[in-house]
C-alpha cells in the first residue's frame, strides 16, 4: 500500500519539483553567479525521466555545456583566468560577509550596503568553490594531454 503510494504519487511529484527547481535556478544562474548551464542540464536530466520533451532538449544543451567546458580549459591562460576569476569571486564573498563600513561614495541608505550579510556571502563563495570544481573537472576531462601541453610551450610540473 505505502509502496504503491510512493511510486504513483510521491515519486512523480518529487521529480517534477526537483526538475523544475533546477531549471529555474539554472536560468537565474545564467545572469547571476552560478553554474547556469549545469543546473539546466541537471533539471532537464531529472525531468527527462518523465517527459520526452525534456529528453529532446537535454541533448543540445548538454552538448553546448561540454563544448564550453572544453573551450574553457583549452589553454593555460584560460585556466589561469578562470581560476583567478573564481578567486576574485571568493574574495568578494568574503568581503561581503565581513561587511566593511559604508564608503563615502555610497548614495543610498547604509542598510543597502552589501545587503544580505553572510547568507549572500556564503552563496557567492559557494559559487566560487563550484567554479573551481568545474575547472578541475573540465581540465581532467577535456584538458590537453601532457605531451601536447609540452609542445605548446607548457611545463610538465
pLDDT tens column, 88-132: 999 999 999 999 999 999 999 988 888 888 988 898 898 889 889
Our count of domains for the chain comes to 2
78 and 149 housed in the same domain: yes
143 and 83 housed in the same domain: yes
Q: From residue 138, how far is each of 3, 44, 72, 107, 144 by CA, in Å? A: 40, 21, 8, 42, 11
| Contact partners, residue 142, CB within 8 Å, separation at least 6 | 66, 69, 70, 73, 74
Last residue of a domain, one of 41, 72, 103: 72
Q: Is the pTM of this model over 0.85?
A: no
Last residue of a domain, one of 39, 56, 72: 72
Question: In which band, very low, low, confident or very high, does the pLDDT at 53 lie, cut at 50, 70 and 90?
Answer: very high
Last residue of a domain, one of 54, 72, 90: 72
pLDDT tens column, 58-72: 888 888 888 888 888
90 and 20 housed in the same domain: no
Q: What is the pLDDT of residue 157?
A: 41
* Cα separation, 60 vs 50, whole angstroms: 18
4 and 67 housed in the same domain: yes
78 and 11 housed in the same domain: no
127 and 152 housed in the same domain: yes
Structural domain that includes position 85? 74-157
**What phi and psi, each to the nearest 5 degrees, are found at residue 107?**
-90, -20
149 and 80 housed in the same domain: yes
% of the chain at pLDDT higher than 90: 31
21 and 87 housed in the same domain: no
Amino acid at each position: 500500500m505505502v509502496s504503491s503510494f510512493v511510486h504513483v504519487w510521491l515519486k512523480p511529484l518529487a521529480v517534477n519539483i526537483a526538475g523544475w527547481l533546477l531549471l529555474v535556478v539554472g536560468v537565474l544562474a545564467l545572469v547571476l553567479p552560478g553554474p547556469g548551464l549545469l543546473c539546466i542540464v541537471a533539471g532537464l536530466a531529472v525531468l527527462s525521466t518523465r517527459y520526452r520533451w525534456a529528453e529532446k532538449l537535454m541533448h543540445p544543451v548538454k552538448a553546448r555545456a561540454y563544448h564550453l567546458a572544453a573551450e574553457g580549459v583549452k589553454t593555460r591562460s584560460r585556466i589561469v583566468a578562470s581560476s583567478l576569476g573564481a578567486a576574485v569571486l571568493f574574495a568578494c564573498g568574503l568581503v561581503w560577509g565581513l561587511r566593511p563600513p559604508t564608503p563615502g561614495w555610497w548614495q543610498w541608505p547604509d542598510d543597502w550596503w552589501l545587503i544580505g550579510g553572510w547568507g549572500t556571502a556564503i552563496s557567492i563563495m559557494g559559487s566560487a568553490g563550484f567554479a573551481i570544481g568545474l575547472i578541475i573537472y573540465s581540465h581532467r576531462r577535456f584538458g590537453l594531454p601532457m605531451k601536447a601541453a609540452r609542445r605548446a610551450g607548457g611545463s610538465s610540473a
